[in-house]
Amino acid sequence: MSGSPQPAVSWENPEPTQGPAPGVEFAPHGPRLVAYIVDSIVVGVLVSGFVLIGLAVFFAGATFEGNKVTSVSSVATFLFLIIVLIGTAISVLYFPFFWARGGQTPGMRLFSLRVVRDSDGGSIGWGTALLRLVGLIVAGAVFYLGYIWIFIDKRRRGWQDLIAGTIVVKQP
């Protein structure tokens, strides 16, 4: 055992990750996650509202005997199906609509995040937005590994970004 003290280890900040372009940085992990949670809540509230309206219309056109529904008018059934279709369309098209229309969902706007093309930083169109949605589904389907990939990739890309050729950046 030596009598000399060990030198103190000093902490050094890690090298900053270079952004995709001068003045642009990759989206931080925390705001990206919270933005997705905010958007999921918005979609959930919208779809739940349509489901409740659909059920109200359905049961308003129903005939009851005791506790049983004996019949439902064809108009009520048709309106219920239309309302359910609208709710489904909202849940499927919410993310692609906002990505294709400026690169920001309402949740992303709160944190100044934007989805852009990885190749040149340009806006994405409907085709890329829909492909990114497919990637989002794939990313979550495999034990959420595609989302966790954001922590592994140097450019903070999840599988949805790799599949669609996109990247999420923080706006200056």
Q: Strand, helix or coil at 65?
A: strand
Q: Give me the domain span that covers residue 137.
A: 26-170
pLDDT at position 87 is 94
pLDDT at position 27 is 96
In a domain, residue 15? The reply is no
What are the Cα distances from residue 132, in Å, to 2, 36, 117, 126, 136?
A: 60, 14, 11, 10, 6
In a domain, residue 127? The reply is yes
97 CB contacts (<8 Å, ≥6 apart)?
129
Which pair of tokens denotes residue 98? 């906002």
In a domain, residue 113? The reply is yes
pTM of the model: 0.84
Phi/psi region, residue 150 (left: phi>0; alpha: psi -120 to 50; beta: rest), is alpha
Q: How many domains does the chain have?
A: 1
In a domain, residue 12? The reply is no
In a domain, residue 145? The reply is yes
In a domain, residue 14? The reply is no
In a domain, residue 135? The reply is yes
Residue reference for tokens 């937005």: 129
pLDDT by residue for the chain (172 residues), tens only, comes to 556 676 666 667 667 667 788 888 999 999 999 999 999 999 999 999 999 999 999 999 999 988 888 899 999 999 999 999 999 999 999 999 999 999 999 999 999 999 999 999 999 999 999 999 999 999 999 999 999 999 999 999 999 999 999 999 998 7
pLDDT at position 139 is 96
In a domain, residue 9? The reply is no
Give first-to-last CA distance, the chain, whole Å.
55
